[in-house]
Structure 1
Amino acid sequence: MSKIAEEKVIKYLEENKLDGLFISNHTNVKYVSSYTGDDSFLFITKSNKYFITDPRYTEQVGYECPSYEIVEWRKDYGSVPAVVAGIAKKDDLKNIAFESEDLKTSDYFTLKEKSVGLELVPIAGVIEEFRSHKTEQEIEYLRASCDIASRCYEKIIKDIRVGVTEKELAANLSRYMVLEGSDSMPYGNILISGARTSLLHGIPSAKAVEYGDFVLMDYGCQFNGYMSDMTRTLVVGKASPKQKEVYEIEYKMNCDAENALKIGASSKDVFQASKKAVEGTEYEKYIYTGIGHGVGLFVHEIPFLGPTHEYIIHENTVMTVEPGIYIPKWGGVRIEDQLLVTSNGTENLTWATKELIEL
C-alpha cells in the first residue's frame, strides 16, 4: 500500500504548496509506510522520506521500509519534535503540515520552539480520507478478515449453553480467531448475556449464561493488518414474544440501513433509513444514534453513520452498519455487518447468518 499512499501524500503537498508533512498518527504511519511496529513517525517532504524511530526498531524499519532514511530520535536529537525541526532547517523548508488531531500539545510547543521561522500548518482528516478509498488489495485483506470472523461465529455458537460464563466463551472465541487465521485479537471482544446485552460496550464477565438469555457477540479479526467488525445476537433456549419482536425490528433496521448505503448517499440518509423501522414503537427511545463506521487498518474509521454526519458515501468504502436497541435492565439486540460499497450497491463481507438463532 505504501507506494500509492506516498504518491497521495506528495500530490497533497504539491496541491497545497506545502514543503513537508509530519505524520504522528500510528495508523496513518502504517498506511503510508506499511510499517508494522511501534515508535513510529514519518516526515515526508517533496524530495525526501524520513522514518523517525528509536534504536529498538531500527532493524525492523530497515527491513520493512527500505526506501526511508531512518533517524533515531533518542540518540541524535532527544525528542521527535527536535528531529522534525532539525530536518526542516537542514532541508531549508519554509512550511510543514502536522496532524493537529493527533500531535500532543507538548510536542507541538516543542516543535514551535525549535523551529523559529518555520510555518506550522495544522491539518486534520487528510490521510484518514485517503484511507477511506480502499484499493483492490485492501478489499481482499478486509474480505479475508471478515471471512475469519464469520467462520468463528459458526464455531462459537456450538459452545454456548446454560452454565458457561461470558469469560469462558470470550476466551474460546479469541482462540478460534487465531486458529482460523487472525493476525491477533485487534481489540477487546464484547461477549455479554442476559440483561447485560443492553451495555453497548460491555466486557465479558463471570456471569453464567441462563436459559432465555440473549447472548450478544461483537468482535473482529485482523488479516495483514486489516480489521473486521461483526456483531450477532442470539437466544439460549426459546425466544420470548418480546425478544422476537425486538429482534425483528432490529433486523429490519439493519436491512433498511444496508439498502440505503450506496454511492452518493449521505451518512445521515443511512441513519434516517434505519430509524424508520423503530419509529412509533415503544422501543424508539432505546436506540443509539451512531449506527456504523468505516473499517480498515483501524476498527473505527471515517465515514461515521449518524444524524449529524454529512459524509457522502463513495465507491470502495468498507464500513459497518450496526443499529441497535438497548433496553436497560432487560437486554439489547445489535446486528452488525461489514459491507463493501460497489457500483451495484453493497457486498456483505460478514456472511455469517443474522437470522435469529434459538439454541
Structure 2
Amino acid sequence: MKMRSSAAVLNRTVLTMPIPNYQSRIANAQALMRSHGMEALLVFSAENLRYLTGYTGEAAYGVLASHTLHLITDYRFVEQANADCLHCTVICRDREKTTLAEVIGEVLGNAAVSRVAVESEHLSLDLFTKIQHHFQPITLVPINGIVEGLRACKDEWEVAQIRRAAQIADQALEALVAQIRLGVSERDLAMELAYLMRAKGADDLAFPIIIGFGENSAKPHCVPGYRALKEGDFVLIDFGAMINGYRSDMTRTFVAGEPTEQQLSMMGTVLRAQEAAIASTRAGVSGQQIDREARRIIDRSPFAHYAGKGLGHGVGLKLHEHPFLGQRCEDTLHTGFVVTIEPGIYIPGVGGVRYEDDVLVGEAGASCLTHAPKFFQISV
C-alpha cells in the first residue's frame, strides 16, 4: 500500500506572518514575576531567553527586572545578540576581567532589587553561591515555571512554526515509506529520514530520530542500530522537524508486509485509544481526563499490562514542555496549548506500537497539526 499525501507542497520561502511580540512577552513575564513577590528574575534557560528576546546564539544569560531586561553574553556572540534582541539591553562581558557573577551582581545592584527569582533547574550551586557573594543585599529565591508557564500557550506565529515543521515531517515520512525495503537497517533509515527533512526545508531535527524494527520497537526510545528489517517486523518511527526553534513530534507504526492477528489487534487498540483521547481534548479539561479516555480503551484490551505510562506532553521550543499528560496531570489545558497525544503498547521480545500526533487545543476541541496517514501495512 502506498502512502497518500495529506500535506500540500511546502513553500520554502520565509513565512510572511509578523514576528513575535517580544515586548508583550517581556511585560507578561514581568507581571508574573511580580505576582510571585519577586523584583527580578535570572533567566538561564536558552529556550526561555529565546522566547523573551529572540536570541538564537549561545553563552547568554538574562536579568529581568520590573522595567528592564538585560542579556549578558561575550565577544563571540555580541553582534548576533545585538541583531536578534531589539527589546533588551545587550551587555558584552569581558571574560578576562569580569566574572559572570560580578556582571549579574552589577546589573542587580543598578536595578536596586532585593528579592530575585532564579531558574534553579538551570543554575549550578556554584554560580548561585558566587552571585549571592558578589551582591549580598539580595535574596535569591529558587523558582521555576515563570517563563515556561507563558510558553505553554502558543500565539498565532508559534503555531504557524509548529504547523510548518509538522508538514515537513509529513512529507518526509511519505517519501521515506516509499523507499523502505527488506534488509535496510534502522540506522540507515534514520539517516535517510534526517536527510529528507532537511531537504524539505527543516532547519534541524526536532530530536534524534527513534526507529525500532521488530522486537526493538518495544523500546519506546529505541536508538537506531544495525538491526535489519525482516518480513513481518513492526516498524516504529518517532521523529520531528524544527523550524525557527519550534519542533514537531510524530510517531507512526507499520508492519513490513502482512500483519499478524496480534499485530493488527495491538495497532487497532492503540489507534482507538489515541482517537478517544484526541476527541476528549479541549480547553478546560485536565491531562488526567484525557489520559483516562485513552487508558479506558487499552485497559479493556489484552494488552493492558503493556501500556505506556504517559500519554503526551507539550511541544514548542523544547520537545518536552508543560503540560505533561498522564494519570497524575491535574493541569488544565487552555486554548493555544500544543500537546502530543501518544498512547502506546510495548511487549518485550515481541514489539511495540505507538501513534503520536501534535494537536492544537481549542475551546471546542483539538485539531491535529500532523497529518501522515496511519495505515498498518507497508509493501516491502
TM-score normalized with structure 1 length: 0.96
Contact 2:177 2:378 in 1 (8 A): no
Taking the aligned partners of 2:97 and 2:345, their CA distance within structure 1 comes to: 53
1:254 aligned to 268, 274, 280, which one?
274
Matches within 5 A, 1:327-346: 327-346=347-366
Taking the aligned partners of 2:375 and 2:280, their CA distance within structure 1 comes to: 20
Taking the aligned partners of 1:150 and 1:173, their CA distance within structure 2 comes to: 11
Letter in structure 1 aligned against 2:353: V
CA deviation profile, 1:185-208 (whole Å, cap 9, x unmatched): 131000121110000101111111
Taking the aligned partners of 2:129 and 2:112, their CA distance within structure 1 comes to: 20
Taking the aligned partners of 1:325 and 1:132, their CA distance within structure 2 comes to: 28
- Residue of structure 2 equivalent to 1:171: 191
CA deviation profile, 1:300-329 (whole Å, cap 9, x unmatched): 111111111111011111010001000001
- Residue of structure 1 equivalent to 2:343: 323
Q: How far 1:48 sits from its partner (Å)?
A: 2.3
CA deviation profile, 1:92-123 (whole Å, cap 9, x unmatched): 22222111222111111111222212122221
Question: Which is worse superposed, 6-15 or 311-320?
Answer: 6-15
Taking the aligned partners of 1:215 and 1:16, their CA distance within structure 2 comes to: 48
Taking the aligned partners of 2:94 and 2:208, their CA distance within structure 1 comes to: 32
Question: Which is worse superposed, 67-76 or 42-51?
Answer: 67-76
Matches within 5 A, 1:61-100: 61-75=81-95, 78-100=98-120
Matches within 5 A, 1:222-233: 222-233=242-253
Contact 1:77 1:83 in 2 (8 A): no
Taking the aligned partners of 1:178 and 1:354, their CA distance within structure 2 comes to: 23
Any unmatched runs of 5+ in structure 1? none
Confirm whether residue 35 of structure 1 aligns to residue 55 of structure 2.
yes
CA deviation profile, 1:164-193 (whole Å, cap 9, x unmatched): 111111111001101111111131000121
Taking the aligned partners of 1:56 and 1:118, their CA distance within structure 2 comes to: 30
Contact 1:81 1:110 in 2 (8 A): yes
Letter in structure 2 aligned against 1:91: A
Identity of aligned residues (%): 30
Question: Which is worse superposed, 13-22 or 82-91?
Answer: 13-22
Query: What RMSD in Å do the two structures reach over aligned CA positions?
Result: 1.4
Confirm whether residue 129 of structure 1 aligns to residue 146 of structure 2.
no
Question: Which is worse superposed, 87-96 or 321-330?
Answer: 87-96
- Residue of structure 1 equivalent to 2:232: 212
CA deviation profile, 1:120-156 (whole Å, cap 9, x unmatched): 2221111111001110111111111111111111111
Contact 2:70 2:88 in 1 (8 A): yes
- Residue of structure 2 equivalent to 1:9: 29
Taking the aligned partners of 1:231 and 1:354, their CA distance within structure 2 comes to: 10
Letter in structure 2 aligned against 1:298: K
Q: 1:186 to 1:281 in 2, by over 3 A?
A: closer
Confirm whether residue 186 of structure 1 aligns to residue 201 of structure 2.
no
Contact 1:239 1:358 in 2 (8 A): no
- Deviating above 6 A after TM superposition, structure 1's stretches of 4 or more consecutive aligned residues are none
- Residue of structure 1 equivalent to 2:370: 350
Taking the aligned partners of 2:158 and 2:359, their CA distance within structure 1 comes to: 13
Confirm whether residue 105 of structure 1 aligns to residue 135 of structure 2.
no
Q: How far 1:18 sits from its partner (Å)?
A: 2.8
1:21 aligned to 34, 37, 41, which one?
41
Contact 1:257 1:274 in 2 (8 A): yes
Contact 1:19 1:96 in 2 (8 A): yes
Taking the aligned partners of 2:83 and 2:227, their CA distance within structure 1 comes to: 46
1:60 aligned counterpart, secondary structure: helix
Confirm whether residue 275 of structure 1 aligns to residue 275 of structure 2.
no
Q: How far 1:74 sits from its partner (Å)?
A: 4.3
Taking the aligned partners of 1:350 and 1:186, their CA distance within structure 2 comes to: 14
1:120 aligned counterpart, secondary structure: strand
Q: How far 1:348 sits from its partner (Å)?
A: 0.6
Confirm whether residue 314 of structure 1 aligns to residue 338 of structure 2.
no
Q: Which has the higher contact order (CA 8 A, sep 6+)?
A: 2
Letter in structure 1 aligned against 2:324: F
Taking the aligned partners of 2:351 and 2:35, their CA distance within structure 1 comes to: 52
Contact 1:200 1:326 in 2 (8 A): yes
Any unmatched runs of 5+ in structure 2? 1-19
- Residue of structure 2 equivalent to 1:304: 324
2:177 aligned to 157, 160, 165, which one?
157
Letter in structure 2 aligned against 1:180: K
Aligned length in residues: 359
Taking the aligned partners of 2:94 and 2:279, their CA distance within structure 1 comes to: 52
Letter in structure 1 aligned against 2:31: K
Taking the aligned partners of 2:288 and 2:34, their CA distance within structure 1 comes to: 33
TM-score normalized with structure 2 length: 0.91
Question: Which is worse superposed, 92-101 or 22-31?
Answer: 92-101
